[in-house]
Amino acid sequence: MLEPGASEPKYSIVVPFHNEEESVSELYARLAGAMQGRYEPFEFVFIDDHSTDSTPRLLAQIAERDPRVRVIRLKRNYGQTAALAAGFDFAQGEIIVAMDGDLQHDPGDIPALLDALEATGCDLVSGWRNKRVDNFWLRRLPSRTANWLMAKLSGVPIHDFGTTFKAYRRDVIKQIALYGELHRFIPALASWHGAKVVEVPIRNIERPQGRSHYGISRTTRVLLDLITIRFLLRYMTRPLHFFGPAGLGGLVVGSGILAWLLFEKVFRASHLFLEHGPLLLLGMILLLFGLQLLALGLLGELVMRTYFEAHRQPVYRVESVLGASHLTSTRL
């Protein structure tokens, strides 16, 4: 519920932090400078992903000074996707802007995102770091390859899936359940829900202080997530269509092989293990393979129905909430 006299914000700025003590104060100051005057009323939703440095203390001090700031501290380090999910759940604005807390995103680019959102009437504006400043072999080349694959597999023709710097309409982002590391695929998931997605260039700033939480090691996770998102976008509501063709193929071919071997045994008295041993094993394996895939597809159908019909729980648990200027009833 809103406090008496408080106005509901039109804009929410969601920023996850994890051990970003070097950038907290400066980022807040720059965000306030970018939003004040032009984008009123607004709120800041800062998520502390269980930082172990002085980030919690600095965020608490900011929340005490500024009633537009709400700080959500998670019970443990859940990762960026869960932190963003928490921020989106607590955000009250009609338009929600998400960005990283390490000063690699320039708050001065927020107007470009919001102007594009209003001018095009779209549902999501994604930032595009068209001039990357990081290492070519360790960051830019893997990122470019992954973005190309994401665009092809998802059908969403944007250049930069990896950046957190995006603007959303509230009704769109609230529809998307985030878990794992699916924050990279929000444009694809939003498009699956029927959202219109556009892209605008943003500045990519070299991290001024601290060290990056990401490196080349995340490439494997991104590739695995690509398989996940491809499956979710095409077969989430019909998993049997994914497992069924291969299952039916194995069932038909395996049954055909075993039927022919049965004919050989009954009518020609063939010694199956001596004359057709490998073929017999192949037929049995294909038959079992087909049955298992069909069973897996049917189980997937049951899980899918449970997912859509049951009440979904958030992927995080909140330890504390500071600043309740615009507090509403939210799932905890």
State the pLDDT at residue 88: 96
Averaged pLDDT, 43-62: 97
Averaged pLDDT, 210-233: 69
Token pair, residue 252, equals 């038909």
pTM listed for this prediction: 0.77
Structure confidence at residue 330 as a pLDDT band (50, 70, 90): very low
CATH of 11-236, one of 3.40.1160.10, 3.10.105.10, 3.20.20.80, 3.90.550.10: 3.90.550.10
* pLDDT, the chain, mean: 86
Averaged pLDDT, 234-245: 87
Q: Where are the domains of the chain?
A: 11-236, 239-309
Structure confidence at residue 186 as a pLDDT band (50, 70, 90): very high
Structure confidence at residue 332 as a pLDDT band (50, 70, 90): very low
Q: What is the pLDDT of residues 83-124, one digit of tens each?
A: 999 999 999 999 999 999 999 899 999 999 999 999 999 999
pLDDT score of 2 more than 50: no
